[in-house]
Structure 1
Amino acid sequence: MTLDDALVTFIAESGELLQDMEAALLNIGDGEADSEAVNAIFRAAHTIKGSAGLFGLDHVVAFTHVAESVLDVVRTGDCPLDPELVALLLACRDHLGHLLATVQSDGLAEDLALTEAGEPLLARLQVYLEPSAPPAPASDTWSISLRFGPSVLCNGMDPMSFLRYLGTLGTIERIATLADTLPPLAEMDPECCYLGFEIALRSSASKADIEGVFDFVREDCHIAITPPESTMSDAIRQIESSPDTPERLGDTLVRTGSVTRAELASALHQQASGDGNRPIGEILIAQGAASAPVVEAALARQGKARDARGLDGSSIRVDADKLDRLINLVGELIITTASANLIARRARNVQFQECSSTLSALVEEVRNSALQLRMVKIGATFNRFQRVVHDVARELGKDIALHVSGEDTELDKTVVEKIGDPLTHLVRNAMDHGIEAAEVRAARGKAAAGAIALHAYHDSGTIVIEVADDGGGLNRERILAKALERGLVEPGRVLSDPEVFALVFEPGFSTAEKVTNLSGRGVGMDVVKRNITALRGTVGIDSIEGVGTTVTVRLPLTLAIINGFQVGVGRSVFVIPLDMVDECVELRAEPGHDFADLRGQILPLLRLRQLFAVAGVPGPRQSVVVVKYAGQRVGLVVDTLLGESQTVIKPLGKLFQKLDCISGSSILGSGEVALILDVPALLRAAPAAAMAGAVPSTEVAMS
Structure 2
Amino acid sequence: MSAEHEDPLQTFIAESRELLLQMEEALLDMESRPNDPETINAIFRAAHTIKGSAGLFGLDHIVAFTHVAESVLDRVRNNEIALDPGLGALLLKAGDHLGQLIELLAAQASPGAAIQADGQALQARLESYLDAALAADAKQPSADKPATTADLAAVNNPHWHISLRFGPDVLRHGMDPVSILRYLATLGEIAALHCVTDAIPSLAEIDPEACYLGVELAFASDRTPDEINGAFEFIRDDCLIHVLPPGAPLDTYRRMIDTLDKDAGMQAILLALGSLGPEEIAALNHPGDAPAGAASMLGGEVAEPSVKENKSSESSLIRVDAGKLDQLINLVGELIIAGAGASMVARNSKLPALIEATTLVSRLVEDVRDSALTLRMVQIGATFNRFRRVVRDVAKEIGKDIALDIRGGDTELDKTVVEKIGDPLTHIVRNSMDHGIEPAEVRLARGKPATGQLRLNAFHESGSIVIEVSDDGGGLNKARILKKAIERGLIGESQALSDKEIFNLVFEPGFSTAEQVSKLSGRGVGMDVVKRNIMALRGTVDIESVEGVGTTVRIRLPLTLAIIDGFMVGVGNAAYVLPLDMVVECIELPALPASEQTAPDYLNLRGSVLPFVRLREQFEVSAPPPTRENVVVVQYAGQRAGLVVDRLMGEFQTVIKPLGKVFSQIRGIGGSTILGSGEVALILDIPGLVRQVTQQSQPAATGGTETCTSNT
> What TM-score, normalized by structure 2, do the two folds share?
0.77
**Is residue 2:705 matched to residue 1:699?**
no
Contact 1:102 1:111 (C-alpha < 8 Å) held by counterparts: no
Match of 1:432? 434
Give the SS at the match of 1:479: helix
**Is residue 2:311 matched to residue 1:305?**
yes
**Structure 1 residue 201 displacement after superposition:** 5.5
Correspondence 1:545-624 to 2 at 5 A: 545-590=547-592, 592-624=599-631
Residues of 2 paired with 1:588 and 1:244: CA distance? 75
Give the SS at the match of 1:518: coil
- Number of residue pairs matched? 585
Give the SS at the match of 1:659: coil
Contact 1:141 1:203 (C-alpha < 8 Å) held by counterparts: no
Give the SS at the match of 2:261: helix
**Unpaired runs of 5+ in structure 1?**
144-171, 174-199, 211-237, 270-286, 290-299
Deviations 1:661-684 (A, max 9, x none): 100000001111100000111012
Identity rate, percent: 57
Contact 1:244 1:305 (C-alpha < 8 Å) held by counterparts: no
Deviations 1:430-465 (A, max 9, x none): 000111101000000110100100000000111000
Match of 1:327? 329
Residues of 2 paired with 1:268 and 1:545: CA distance? 74
Residues 555 and 341 (structure 1), Cα distance of their counterparts in 2 relative to 1, 3 Å cut: same
Match of 1:203? 153
Residues of 1 paired with 2:265 and 2:631: CA distance? 77
Contact 2:241 2:308 (C-alpha < 8 Å) held by counterparts: no
Correspondence 1:52-67 to 2 at 5 A: 52-67=54-69
Match of 2:178? none
Residues of 2 paired with 1:599 and 1:243: CA distance? 69
- Give the residue type in structure 2 aligned to 1:397: G
Give the SS at the match of 2:31: coil
Residues 140 and 617 (structure 1), Cα distance of their counterparts in 2 relative to 1, 3 Å cut: closer
Contact 2:437 2:472 (C-alpha < 8 Å) held by counterparts: yes
**Structure 1 residue 105 displacement after superposition:** 1.1
**Structure 1 residue 633 displacement after superposition:** 0.5
Q: Which moved more, 1:84-93 or 1:22-31?
A: 22-31
Match of 2:681? 674
Correspondence 1:249-260 to 2 at 5 A: 258-260=255-257
Contact 2:531 2:540 (C-alpha < 8 Å) held by counterparts: yes
Correspondence 1:220-239 to 2 at 5 A: none
Match of 2:525? 523
Q: Could you tell me which of 607, 611, 633 is aligned with 1:626?
A: 633
Deviations 1:175-228 (A, max 9, x none): xxxxxxxxxxxxxxxxxxxxxxxxx66523399999xxxxxxxxxxxxxxxxxx
Match of 1:13? 15
Residues of 1 paired with 2:364 and 2:143: CA distance? 70
- Give the residue type in structure 1 aligned to 2:131: E
Residues 55 and 631 (structure 1), Cα distance of their counterparts in 2 relative to 1, 3 Å cut: same
> What TM-score, normalized by structure 1, do the two folds share?
0.78
Deviations 1:528-586 (A, max 9, x none): 00100111100000001111000000001000000000000111100000010011111
Contact 2:44 2:73 (C-alpha < 8 Å) held by counterparts: yes
Q: Could you tell me which of 294, 314, 317 is aligned with 1:315?
A: 317
Contact 2:589 2:629 (C-alpha < 8 Å) held by counterparts: yes
Residues of 1 paired with 2:401 and 2:610: CA distance? 47
Residues of 2 paired with 1:112 and 1:75: CA distance? 33
**Structure 1 residue 263 displacement after superposition:** 7.3
Deviations 1:577-608 (A, max 9, x none): 00100111111132622010000000001100
Residues of 1 paired with 2:497 and 2:143: CA distance? 77
Correspondence 1:532-543 to 2 at 5 A: 532-543=534-545
Match of 1:71? 73
Residues of 2 paired with 1:301 and 1:461: CA distance? 48
- Give the residue type in structure 1 aligned to 2:385: N
Match of 1:280? none
RMSD: 3.0
Contact 2:23 2:42 (C-alpha < 8 Å) held by counterparts: yes
Q: Could you tell me which of 264, 269, 292 is aligned with 2:261?
A: 264
Residues 58 and 74 (structure 1), Cα distance of their counterparts in 2 relative to 1, 3 Å cut: same
Give the SS at the match of 2:454: strand
Residues of 1 paired with 2:661 and 2:549: CA distance? 44
**Structure 1 residue 615 displacement after superposition:** 2.5
Residues 262 and 401 (structure 1), Cα distance of their counterparts in 2 relative to 1, 3 Å cut: closer
Contact 1:633 1:683 (C-alpha < 8 Å) held by counterparts: yes
Contact 1:429 1:519 (C-alpha < 8 Å) held by counterparts: yes
- Give the residue type in structure 1 aligned to 2:115: L
- Give the residue type in structure 1 aligned to 2:567: F
**Is residue 2:659 matched to residue 1:662?**
no
Contact 1:254 1:261 (C-alpha < 8 Å) held by counterparts: no
- Give the residue type in structure 1 aligned to 2:38: E
Residues of 1 paired with 2:662 and 2:145: CA distance? 84
Match of 1:168? none
Match of 1:128? 129
**Is residue 2:86 matched to residue 1:84?**
yes
Match of 1:487? 489
Match of 2:118? 117
